[in-house]
Structure 1
Amino acid sequence: MPRISEQDMARTRQRIVDAASPRLRADGIDGIGIAALMKGAGLTHGGFYNHFASKDALVVAVCEDAFAASLATLARTVDEANPDRPSLAQIVADYLSPEHRDQSDGGCPSAALVSDAGRHGPEIQAAYAQGVVGYLEGFDAAQQLEATERGETLDPEEARRRSIALLSEIVGAIVLARAIRLGDPDLSDEILTVNRQRHLEDRQSR
């Protein structure tokens, strides 16, 4: 039997993560088993433990991968070499959009996995927490750059408070909007619209 290379192992592992990510976000961590996740990746159940010690280990990998992709978008706000970099206001507007709300199997894991993370153990919560830290650091950096461009100085502690409030508010808004999207679509839209407008007005007042 030919020996499987480390590169092949890494590709297969990533294939499992890529296939599991939308399913875990849409169905929840407890809403789908290993067999179904492996079937979605086009692989057999028995091969799972060649790549992950447990389902929790897979969830950790999904969290890390999904947050990395999401944070890469946020990082563009402070890419001074990019003349077309989005503003923090644009990032927030995209986050609070109907398109993001309706993408239950994708989008930012901060909203998609928030309830599941709270119901699981320290390993999964630590991976989720690292994503939260990444968002807060990204918001801090974006606010500091915008303040500098305005010729202002922003106290780091104030930037931190604003970042925590911002993340809490946008995650809460998208979770609420998703929870009632089918039962009361008008209210779901209103939640997104009010939060988008409030954050835009808040930034314009600074």
Structure 2
Amino acid sequence: MRVSKQKAGEHRDAILNAASRLFRARGFDKVGVAEVTQAAGLTHGGFYGHFASKEALAAEVCDRSFDNAVRRLAASATLEDYIDYYVTVEHRDREGPCPMVALGGDVSRLTGPVRERFTQGLARYVAAVRERLPADDPDAGERAAALVSLLVGGLSLARAAATADPGLSERLLDGVRAQARAMVSDRG
């Protein structure tokens, strides 16, 4: 039985949303197509009508995840406000944090379209941070790259330590937040 274009679009979105949530929670290799379609409330058979492969799905998830991250950044009143949102216990403890924290380790072991799309998304994100820095800052490109590295690395380490040493994890978050805010306000 054929479904309408609208319903097919809804199914595709449901698959992308489920895959994004599952991939960010458990990684690309720990999630199968059948699990994604089940989480989307669909049958496994319809998957290949929407995506050529799990790899193609993962590449689109990277695009969508970075689109959402860039949108959240752009919606923040200031870069400091975004830092205050990003470097929190709540964000640390989310099942599916930002794509850089959730998927960076997996992507570093991949080749092909998923790695390419992740890298393109990362470049868009760094550029979005750069746009929030003063236009006359000659080091803004490097500052944006360093700021993203600080935020993502700090949140990753805070997540890793959260269960075994919550105090250390919170000190990491506090330190990253303070240093990131200083990077934004200082030019030195």
| TM bracket (short chain) | over 0.9
- CA–CA distance in structure 2, aligned partners of residues 44 and 205 of structure 1: 53
Counterpart residue number, 2:9: 10
8 Å contact 1:110–1:131 — kept in the other structure? no
Matches within 5 A, 1:145-160: 153-155=136-138, 158-160=139-141
Q: Could you give the per-residue CA deviations for residues 165-196 of structure 1, whole angstroms, max 9, x where no partner exists? A: 11111111111111111011111111110111
Counterpart residue number, 1:133: 123
2:78 to 75, 87, 90: 87
Q: Quick one: percent identity of the two aligned structures?
A: 37
Task: Point out where structure 2 has 5 or more consecutive residues left out of the alignment.
Answer: none
2:132 to 131, 142, 148: 142
Helix, strand or coil: the match of 1:168? helix
Q: Could you give the per-residue CA deviations for residues 117-160 of structure 1, whole angstroms, max 9, x where no partner exists? A: 1122220011111111111111111103xx5xxxxx222xx110
Residues 202 and 136 of structure 1: is their aligned pair in 2 closer, same or farther, counting only changes over 3 Å? Answer: closer
Q: In the alignment, residue 37 of structure 2 is paired with which amino acid?
A: M
8 Å contact 2:143–2:183 — kept in the other structure? no
Matches within 5 A, 1:1-206: 1=1, 3-77=2-76, 86-105=77-96, 107-144=97-134, 153-155=136-138, 158-206=139-187
Helix, strand or coil: the match of 1:186? helix
Structure of greater Rg: 1
TM-score (norm 2): 0.93
Aligned length, in residue pairs = 187
Deviation at 1:104, TM superposition (A): 2.8
Q: Could you give the per-residue CA deviations for residues 67-103 of structure 1, whole angstroms, max 9, x where no partner exists? A: 11111121235xxxxxxxx211111121111111000
TM-score (norm 1): 0.85
- CA–CA distance in structure 1, aligned partners of residues 27 and 157 of structure 2: 16
8 Å contact 2:126–2:145 — kept in the other structure? yes
- Structure 1 runs of 4+ aligned residues shifted over 6 Å read none
